[in-house]
Amino acid sequence: DTAVSQTPKYLVTQMGNDKSIKCEQNLGHDTMYWYKQDSKKFLKIMFSYNNKELIINETVPNRFSPKSPDKAHLNLHINSLELGDSAVYFCASSQTAGEGSEQYFGPGTRLTVT
Amino acid sequence: GDSVTQMEGPVTLSEEAFLTINCTYTATGYPSLFWYVQYPGEGLQLLLKATKADDKGSNKGFEATYRKETTSFHLEKGSVQVSDSAVYFCALSGYGNKLVFGAGTILRVKS
């Protein structure tokens, strides 16, 4: 059983399109995250949700909108895709939002914008 | 703000060589520290962690000690294998448990 799963694994789309990435965790965790990994492998947090409430919203364009329908799911919708959005997007979850709570990562979604 | 600096790679070693990847951090207070590993085409896996000064995290032959006085968390392994080839990330846990990552260090082990 995959602990943190993401769909799709690969996403190729054109500039200007709107797309969504889905994430599910079956660990019973309260907190979920989205991270972006750029082409140089640098990882940066985008958002986090705790019990469906947004608690971290880093400096991310408002074309990106996360949604958490329940504690086990965190989706990422991206409007008007740009070339610079090409990256690998990782979902993660942790038991709590408390400092030091271990995060478990999904396999990533590689988004390519052409 | 919080930040993590780790040595640039790639680091290329022969099998059974000793590995050190340096990591230092800047943070308010004493955050938890982590090493994550990313194998090609995969997500990140937690390798080890330490939550307070002088704690030593260890896993699969890798070790790192939380040094408050030098704000460091260097990763070491006594004898690397080809299967250890991956990208290694040092990270700290900040506000809201967000992970702040270093730039990653590519490790290549030759047989």
User: Mean of the pLDDT values across residues A58-80?
Assistant: 94
- Residue A1 is predicted with a pLDDT of 64
Which residues in chain B have Cβ-Cβ distances shorter than 8 Å to A40? Answer: 103
Share of chain A above pLDDT 90, in %: 91
The alpha-carbon gap from B19 to the nearest alpha carbon of chain A, in Å, equals 21
User: Mean of the pLDDT values across residues B49-53?
Assistant: 94
pLDDT at A78 over 90: yes
The mean pLDDT of chain A is 95
- Residue B79 is predicted with a pLDDT of 96
Sequence-separated (6 or more) residues with CB below 8 Å from residue B83:
B109
State pLDDT tens for residues B2-29. Answer: 999 998 889 999 999 999 999 999 998 8
The alpha-carbon gap from B97 to the nearest alpha carbon of chain A, in Å, equals 5
In what side-by-side order are the strands of the sheet with B62-65?
A: B19-21, B75-77, B62-65, B56-59
> E strand or H helix at A48, and its extent?
strand A43-50
8 Å CB contact of A56 and B32: no
Which residues in chain B have Cβ-Cβ distances shorter than 8 Å to A106? Answer: 43
Q: Are strands A19-25 and A4-7 parallel, antiparallel or unpaired?
A: antiparallel
> Rounded CA gap, A85 and A81, in Å?
7
pLDDT at A2 over 80: no
8 Å CB contact of A102 and B87: no
8 Å CB contact of A48 and B103: no
